[in-house]
Structure 1
Amino acid sequence: MAVITISRQFGSGGDEIADRVCALLGYRRFDKRLLEQAAAESGLSAQEVIDYSEDNYRVKGFFERLFNRPVPVATVSVWREDASGTRSAESIVLDDAAALGLVQKAVRAACEAGNMVIVGRGGQMILKDHPEVLHVRIEAPMEDRIQRVKEHLKHEQKAYRADITLRREAQDLIVTRDYASADYIRQYYKVDWADPLLYHIVLNTGLLGIEEAAQVIARLVEIREKQPA
């Protein structure tokens, strides 16, 4: 199996499952290093790489949609070389389309490298027709997700917060992040993020748990690898 893509609801345990699958199969997880490689090939400075994924996607406003205005993602440095071979840095504004193209290029390069787990970034659509890619969707009941995100917030903030405050913050974060992820896929790939027909398998961590879900994915990969081409 060349690549596993994992689409996940926020707080469903998808990232933990991805790490566990990598450990079970000896795969690598798609990371910023691969984006830096794609950036270098495009003339961008590695220090200026933008990981334009669902996790940091900004939902477009009404007027941006109405007038189809490109969204500035960041100002980045591009190396230019003149006729004498002298290199100089030029600042340009990287819009959403350019940043998306960079991520797509890196994802396709990761697929060629093989033995990779790609979390988010529209991998299920970028590689949708690739025969050696397994597409996985991770979901969980809202209450399970709230509890998981609450624990993460407690650890991250390292300060006492009232349970009701943490719960409200966790629920708001889940709704915001899920909406952004759904909008990202709808905006750029014109499909419903949660459509089960986009995936080989949909796993509910409310019933399976992290370890069992990871074992299911690893076992499915092993079965598919044994099948004749």
Structure 2
Amino acid sequence: MSRQRIISIGRRFGSGGHEIAEILAKRLSLPLYDANILAEVAKKNDMTYEELMHYDEQRIPAFLSKPVRSFSSFLEVNVAEAQFHAIRQHAEAGESFVIVGRCADTVLDSYPGLISLFITADESSRTARTAGLYHISEKKAAAMNQKVDARRRSYHDYFCERKWGHADTYDLVLKENTVGIEHTAELIERYIAFRDAVEQN
């Protein structure tokens, strides 16, 4: 990979998006950024990772209008903005990496090396995965999926003009359960190679 390449992955909860990101990062020998960005933010602000995790990718209060967010005292907004700054610093340094969530599809959209992806899956597949992962009933798993997706949508759409999960927001949208996690990662890897070849010509 001769040029800077940033792989941004949005995902529905239970879709296996994070696992796919891990596989891609390993295959492409790239660092993976997700909640570990909080560790950087915590260190720079003399806080603990655990303190910031409570505010990571959380639903923004409905009464907080976008025009005043720069002056916000709400930690949800301040933590998000600090993460965006850290993400931009990695990109500005010319680094190639895989990043999960955190509005990277918008935060880094000025970088020509960005490829934005969204991973989804059928509801039944997501419910089964969440139930197995957290050892809960399918009823509770379905409710958890819905709650987390609503939170992610609220977070993303507060900071971004583009809509979370809408196909025209991303370069590529894939339904994981059609071919499974490993093959979905392989398809993405092939797409990246194809993009590299096209953009070099």
2:116 is the counterpart of 1:144: no
Query: Post-superposition shift, 1:45?
Result: 1.1
2:200 is the counterpart of 1:228: yes
More off after superposition, 143-152 vs 102-111: 102-111
Q: What is residue 185 of structure 1 aligned with on the other side?
A: 156
Note the 1:199-214 alignment, pairs <5 A. Answer: 199-214=170-185
CA distance in 1 between counterparts of 2:41 and 2:60 reads 25
CA pair 97-34 structure 1, distance change in 2 beyond 3 A: closer
Contact 1:38 1:105 (C-alpha < 8 Å) held by counterparts = no
Query: Post-superposition shift, 1:31?
Result: 4.5
Contact 2:60 2:76 (C-alpha < 8 Å) held by counterparts = no
CA distance in 2 between counterparts of 1:102 and 1:11 reads 27
Query: Post-superposition shift, 1:198?
Result: 1.5
Aligned match for 1:99, one of 79, 92, 111: 79
Alignment partner of 2:118: what SS? strand
Output the amino acid matched with 1:12. Answer: S
Q: What is residue 116 of structure 1 aligned with on the other side?
A: 97
Q: What is residue 5 of structure 2 aligned with on the other side?
A: 2
Note the 1:144-163 alignment, pairs <5 A. Answer: 144-154=125-135
Note the 1:122-137 alignment, pairs <5 A. Answer: 122-137=103-118
TM-score normalized by the length of structure 1: 0.74
CA distance in 1 between counterparts of 2:148 and 2:36 reads 24
Paired residues in the alignment total: 190
RMSD (CA atoms) = 2.4
CA pair 33-184 structure 1, distance change in 2 beyond 3 A: closer
Output the amino acid matched with 1:60. Answer: P
Contact 1:11 1:149 (C-alpha < 8 Å) held by counterparts = yes
CA distance in 2 between counterparts of 1:13 and 1:71 reads 34
Richer in strand (by share)? 1
Output the amino acid matched with 1:228. Answer: Q
Contact 1:53 1:120 (C-alpha < 8 Å) held by counterparts = no
Contact 1:4 1:117 (C-alpha < 8 Å) held by counterparts = yes
- In terms of Rg, which structure is larger? 1
Structure 1 residues 121-162: Cα deviation after superposition (integer angstroms, max 9, x where no partner): 1111101231101101101010000000010012xxxxxx6x
Output the amino acid matched with 2:48. Answer: Q
Contact 2:115 2:171 (C-alpha < 8 Å) held by counterparts = yes
Query: Post-superposition shift, 1:96?
Result: 3.0
Contact 1:150 1:167 (C-alpha < 8 Å) held by counterparts = yes
CA distance in 1 between counterparts of 2:101 and 2:172 reads 15
Q: What is residue 78 of structure 1 aligned with on the other side?
A: none
TM-score normalized by the length of structure 2: 0.83
